[in-house]
Amino acid sequence: MTIFAVTIGGAIGSLLRYSLGLTLANAFRNAYIPVSMIVVNSLGSFGLGAFIAIEHLASDSLIYATVAIGFFGGFTTFSTFSVEALDLFSQKRYVHMIVYVSLSVLLCIGFFILGYVILTLE
């Protein structure tokens, strides 16, 4: 059952990432860095942080498998981030690569913390 839950969550997350990524890529097509993946990964980090903060959901193994591993695993993408960073590097756009990598890491961690903190405030 867990494999099915991860599969369903991953399929939904991947489709949403693809759709949102295309929309954002078109909106920011003249950007110097891959804005679409920064936004998608930051949103995914925020959502995962918020989900983890909801202990009664995060402690249920089937819900965790569906949402945390499946959906957010499919929605966010470290592999695309890596390809885009390497593309910037191979084009000798070193400053853009450093900005992209730095923003991605800082925003994803920051948005995860923000999502977690917002839901744990009492």
Q: Where are the domains of the chain?
A: 2-120
Burial 21-39 (b: 16+ CB within 10 A, else e): beebeeeeeeeebbbbbbb
Please tell me whether the overall predicted TM-score, pTM, comes out greater than 0.75 for this model. yes
> CA end-to-end span of the chain, whole Å?
35
Confidence of residue 56 (pLDDT cuts 50, 70, 90): confident
Percent of the chain predicted with pLDDT > 70: 99
What whole-number distance in Å separates Cα of residue 84 and Cα of residue 82?
5
| Stretch 61-86: mean pLDDT | 94
Distance CA 33, CA 41 (A): 14
Closest by Cα among 90, 87, 92 to 37: 87
Query: For 34, what's the count of Cα atoms within 13 Å in the CB-facing half-sphere?
Result: 26
